[in-house]
Structure 1
Amino acid sequence: MFTITNGIILKGHNLVPTKENIVVDDGKIIEMGKDTLEGKIIDVDGAIVCPSFINGHIHIGDSIIKDEGYGLSLSEMVKPPNGVKHRALADASDDELISAMADSMWDMVNSGTTHFIDYREGGIRGVKLLKKASEGIPIKPIILGRDDSFYGEDPDLRQVRIAIRKLLKVADGIAPSGFGEITDDVAGLIVEECSKQNKISSIHVAESESNQIESIEKFSKSEIEKGVSNNFSQLVHLTNPKNNDLELVSNSSSNVVVCPRANATLNVGVCRLNEMLAMGIKPLLGTDNVMLNSPNMLRELEFTLKLMSVYYKDYLSPLKLLQMATTNIGCHDINNIVQKTPINEGNCAEFVIFKSFSKNPYLNICNRSETKNILYIINKRCIV
């Protein structure tokens, strides 16, 4: 048992700054209050206590090929089955993949991340490799699998259903790459089987302008329309919306993840974040492919804060931005699986304590903090 004292606590889903002590016992916050003191006392001297980060979208298998293929197009880099990353994954040994993924997970832990949602290539083998790599590391991977049987213009739907069910025995959900690689029938099977088991169905949509144009020409629907109409529980990117795409998302139950640094690296555009927030959409923030970016959420926060200021010529709320990295979990299925909790009495103890630089706690983290400014990372049963 220990007590964090003299900190500025960003409490609850709304990250309300309060001056309270936090008592932690056996991985849970058992009491909060101004005068509470139990067990070992950790005086943080005015530091900011923030919920730990969730990386809403990552491809951690790419850790084996950092910065390879820089300057290539989106399709050349990541489109299955012949993109740079897919060829590298096919050629890598299990030990190479495990070692590289473990290194990236430690990078995330050391920069304040305790949860991440991974698009896991390699079928059941890929899921098992990530689980093995995460052993002994204080981080929770939420693993979304996929299978090669999903792809092609005329897939065997019986085999697809079997593959989905087998994957869902070991994975937290299913995540095909995009609508350019699967049929509507496959998409329907993925959502149906995930829904039956209360697991996550996720897909990339509208990452590039060309993907949107191709979808509209082929199906008379944008990729975002297809994602919403197919009832995917999580939509990733939405960088190039058309017409009323964002309105459709705001009226749906789909969770949204944006990845501004990856979009910038691949030259595919700037996500319409201010517009999403104005519509009441509450996205998560993700770092995307490790081959493109470090999985450090602090870098993602600062980049996003300043990119939106330039793009919109207006300020992005640092509070809403920080919520995207901490408490914006979204739809019930995702929240149930991720189990990422805010700082409240009775919840799991998962928070990061940052050195204080300014009177604005949100900008302190989004604008100024670096890994070296983290004083403590509290993650259930351990202090990092």
Structure 2
Amino acid sequence: MHLEGTILVGEAFEPVEGRVVVADGEVVRVEEASVESDDVILPAFVNAHTHIGDSIAKEAGEGLSLDELVAPPDGLKHRLLRSASREEKVAAMARTLRYMESTGTGSFLEFREGGVDGVAALRDAVAGEGVDFGERAIEPVVLGRDDPDVLSVADGYGASGARDGDFDAVRSETREAGKLFGIHAGERDADDVNPAMDLDPDFLVHMVHAEAIHLERLDDRGTPVVVCPRSNLVTKVGVPPIRELAERTTVALGTDNVMLDSPSMFREMEFAAKLADLPARDVLRMATVNGAAIAGLNKGVVEPGADADLLVLDGGSDNLAGAHDLVRAIVRRAGAADVSRVVIGGDEIDSDEIDGDETGGDGSDAAGD
């Protein structure tokens, strides 16, 4: 397989006219050449924080506080998850996975509720078990919880927050197993940030209320942070200091709960870029290579040897044509309607699904994505 157009090469996203050659699931080479194509080729997105299990409850709980919405064990999402059948949850997750693929996401880091069975349900959704959509190509990195045995089936552990329990033992287990440990911190207030950082996690999520002492600790340790600004705005907890965090450590973007926001990395990039007023290349790294680095994936860049997870946009679309700064246009204005091809693991996603799923299966309008 080869793709032609303007290629955003490497972590600098340097625009190069030519073709990307793919074989055996990886980028073999990038060839500079004159080509007849308006396509723009960039790495597929890595969504660094999701809760897709609550795909069964999109836009539920208007007006509720963060704790009322998602706090375990009796927040609204947890009650709805308990009341839904396994089949309903698998089918809802499968629809979300299809939407994520069609909008250019190749991998995601999932904080999966429900213990061993919760992890298995997500893997069933990826495999297309019991649903009409078939197997998905998107690669999940699944961090389980709620069960002492979950590390046997998950890629790591995703803790809800330091105030919700004693995570010392599970942190030791993940370290011994060589698996990821991530934890929410500083979402509601600053009180749980230091206890979360004391666990020496592989990454922190949210850090809305990061204070000077926490920024200093990040500077010293380099602990990566995943920010989810749209979700934080919806739950009225504030917005993360993205620029200040990015000055001190690796920052990646996540879309958080499907209950609250569509898992669109286009929307997350646009919001984060306009909120933090960061250079477009920094924001695009947050949506691609930075999340891949946190998860230990060989993705998020277009360069020889990287996994062939690629997103192709129509640079001649009414939305993108005439862009003076291509990377800035992708970050601040591109959307689902501009997607022409998605390649994950070297295989192209069915073009009918990309063209036919512009509403995302969740009521989101492609033109506004």
Q: TM-score, normalised by structure 2?
A: 0.87
**Is 1:353 the counterpart of 2:351 in the alignment?**
no
- Corresponding residue number in structure 2 for 1:362: 327
Contact 1:114/1:350, CA 8 A, preserved across alignment: yes
Contact 2:93/2:125, CA 8 A, preserved across alignment: yes
One of 15, 24, 27 as aligned partner of 2:13 = 15
Deviation at 1:23, TM superposition (A): 1.0
Count of residues paired in the alignment: 336
Letter in 2 for 1:125: D
- Corresponding residue number in structure 2 for 1:273: 242
1:213-362 equivalent positions in 2, closer than 5 A: 215=191, 223-279=192-248, 281-308=249-276, 315-329=277-291, 334-336=294-296, 338-356=297-315, 357=320, 358-362=323-327
Deviation at 1:251, TM superposition (A): 1.8
- Range with greater deviation from structure 2 (200-209 or 341-350): 341-350
Q: Distance in 2 between matches of 1:285 and 1:75?
A: 22
Deviation at 1:170, TM superposition (A): 0.7
- Corresponding residue number in structure 1 for 2:53: 61
SS at match of 2:262: coil
- Corresponding residue number in structure 1 for 2:25: 27
CA change 1:296–1:341 in 2 (3 A) is closer
SS at match of 1:63: helix
- Corresponding residue number in structure 2 for 1:46: 38
Q: Distance in 1 between matches of 2:12 and 2:165?
A: 38
**Is 1:79 the counterpart of 2:71 in the alignment?**
yes
Deviation digits for residues 19-77 of structure 1 (CA, Å, limit 9, x no counterpart): 232111232222222259xxxxxx67132211000111010001000011121011000
- Corresponding residue number in structure 2 for 1:39: none
- Corresponding residue number in structure 1 for 2:159: 176
Contact 2:204/2:225, CA 8 A, preserved across alignment: yes
Please, what is the CA RMSD of the aligned residues?
Answer: 1.7
Deviation at 1:3, TM superposition (A): 2.0
Q: Which runs of 5+ in 2 are unaligned?
A: 128-134, 350-369
**Is 1:139 the counterpart of 2:138 in the alignment?**
yes
SS at match of 1:114: strand
- Identical pairs, percent: 35
Q: Which runs of 5+ in 1 are unaligned?
A: 37-42, 149-162, 216-222, 309-314
Q: Distance in 2 between matches of 1:179 and 1:86?
A: 19
Q: Distance in 2 between matches of 1:20 and 1:247?
A: 43
1:107-146 equivalent positions in 2, closer than 5 A: 107-135=99-127, 136-146=135-145
Q: Write out the 4+ residue segments of structure 1 that deviate beyond 6 Å after TM superposition.
A: none
Deviation at 1:89, TM superposition (A): 0.7
Q: Distance in 1 between matches of 2:174 and 2:221?
A: 17
- Corresponding residue number in structure 1 for 2:361: none
SS at match of 2:162: coil
